[in-house]
Amino acid sequence: MKEIKRYKSNKNSLISKEDLFDIIFNNIYVGIDIIDNRGNMIYYNKAMEELEGLSAEEVLGNFVFDVFPSFNYENSTMFKCIETGKPIYDNIQSYLNNKGEQIYAMVTNIPIVKDGEVEGVVEFALDMDTIGNLYKTFNRWYSLKDTVFKKEKEKKGVDFYNLQDFKTKNIELKRTIERLEDVSKYDYNVLLFGETGTGKEILAQSIHNASYRKNKPFIAQNCAAIPENLLESIFFGTVKGSFTGAENKPGLFELADGGTIFLDELNSLPIHPQAKLLRAIEEGYVRRVGGQEDIKVDVRVIASVNKEPLNLVYEKKLREDLFYRISQIYIEIPPLRTRKEDILYLSGHFIKENSEFLDMKPIKLSSKVEDIFMNYPWMGNVRELKNVVIQSMINLKLEDGNEIEVRHIPKHIINENKKRKMKKILKYNEDKNYEERIIEVEKKLISEALYMTDGNVSEAARLLKIKRQTLQYKIKKYEIENVE
């Protein structure tokens, strides 16, 4: 990208770049911190103090994982950024500070590169709760997105989801849902296995809501978000004085008494504490950290894993006895790319769900978009599909159209699709001679140009910098299908 000069100082001005830096960074609503390439925290602005509940004094000069114990070299996007030298945008993170407080933020990491070396990382963070409010002050696009976000948020209310909210055309999954209507009522523990975004949270909430426990608490805890040294206190509670700063506090099991506890991403729980968890589940008693008495708890357990559970057992990441205990009902949700029948079905569902809300006429996907969707791998599964559909609808709304076309969908989806097509072509080329391969490349250039111009031959010729007649001739000669 071309460097653009964005700052021009006036020779007579007393304002230094540093003054500007301070004024801007301390008054901006975006949290900003900077670490050097060894992970030491070297900058921390006011908004970040508010967002993370810490002060610059407590933070500066410390190693980042000492301040945020739920991060490590594996899950820290800041270190990923140091490692790859590439920016990471808008990553939604939920993590803990060293006081055990939960932070929920949208984070962007930009590497500071000098002479080809990564010297550090600047992090921009927005509190998820304030994001909605911020958008309001921006332009129309943002305000639309905000409305959608808000609606999504409302849905996150605990008793929102029911089994009917899990939409699918996949026969086996449909059967699973039907079976759940019945077995949810009983007190069996449930293990859900599915990649990210496949709907584990929907099912967990729905199972709770279909049971006699539905008016009692549903406590969801992401196991990946708890630092190991706080695990026991969070699950089982603490007794005042048992360690410095300890208060009389119930753990999640006590809080969930009579209801359901959802142990999300159970496989990120270290193997050792799994034994204590098993005991609590088996015996129905917990003992607070530092406490003397056993407290009876009546809790149904639903757990989720995002890797094949038997492999986890085999790799000793999930205790076998715990696995058997919690998988009295075992549900596997296959990734979206393996249940193609759901891709367009769910797209239609999300369009319908949001069009009234966005005050839009009936909308459909163009056949090109359908084709792209069907071939895209959807690594973020239904969540990704839903976001892409909503995003495309917002882009379409700005034009007041009624068909989602290629230009409305996020660019990375199109690129991924092109890459796949390219791979197919290259493979196809392997047993061709040089001339035939040149023709393939020519065909590809032409198809791409037609694709980009929605089949407009004149425009495509301009893009390719050849005469319209030449292009017309080649389209005919190579029998290129013009998808007008």
Binding site for Mg ion (CB under 5 A): 201
Which structure tokens are listed for 457? 């031959």
**Window contacting ligand ATP (CB under 6 A); options: 84-92, 314-322, 382-390, 470-478:** 382-390
Which single residue brings its beta carbon nearest to ligand ATP? 199
Shortest Å distance, C-beta 203 to ligand ATP: 7
Binding mask 384-413 for ligand ATP (x = CB under 6 A): --x---------------------------
By CB under 6 A, is residue 202 in contact with ligand ATP?
yes
Shortest Å distance, C-beta 353 to ligand ATP: 9
Q: How far is CA 263 from CA 214, 272, 274, 298, 328, in A?
A: 17, 16, 11, 15, 15
Shortest Å distance, C-beta 275 to ligand ATP: 25
Helix, strand, coil content of the chain in percent (nearest 5): 50, 15, 35
Quick one: what does residue 111 bind among ligand ATP, Mg ion, none, with the CB cut-off 5 to 8 Å set by partner type? none
**Window contacting ligand ATP (CB under 6 A); options: 19-27, 47-55, 195-203, 324-332:** 195-203
What is the rounded end-to-end Cα distance, in angstroms, of the chain?
33
Contact criterion met (CB below 8 Å) for 97 and 53 = yes
CA 201 to chain centre: 13
At 91 the three-state DSSP class reads: strand
Amino acid at the residue 41: M
Neighbours of 1 (CB within 10 A): 3
Q: What are φ and ψ of residue 116, in 5° steps?
A: 80, 0
User: What long-range pairs does 84-91 form, CB within 8 A, spacing at least 24?
Assistant: 84/111, 85/111, 85/113, 85/118, 86/111, 87/111
**Window contacting ligand ATP (CB under 6 A); options: 92-100, 161-169, 278-286, 470-478:** 161-169
Q: What are φ and ψ of residue 269, in 5° steps?
A: -80, 130
CA angle 87, 93, 95 (to 5 degrees): 125
Contact criterion met (CB below 8 Å) for 116 and 141 = no
Strands (E), 311-370: 329-333, 364-365
Strands 295-296 and 285-286: antiparallel
Shortest Å distance, C-beta 204 to ligand ATP: 8
- In the list 70, 93, 147, 198, the residue contacting ligand ATP (rule: CB under 6 A) is 198
**Window contacting ligand ATP (CB under 6 A); options: 74-82, 162-170, 290-298, 412-420:** 162-170
**Window contacting ligand ATP (CB under 6 A); options: 102-110, 200-208, 404-412, 474-482:** 200-208
Quick one: what does residue 373 bind among ligand ATP, Mg ion, none, with the CB cut-off 5 to 8 Å set by partner type? none
By CB under 6 A, is residue 309 in contact with ligand ATP?
no
Shortest Å distance, C-beta 177 to ligand ATP: 9
Shortest Å distance, C-beta 154 to ligand ATP: 12
- In the list 340, 383, 437, 462, the residue contacting ligand ATP (rule: CB under 6 A) is 383
Shortest Å distance, C-beta 108 to ligand ATP: 20
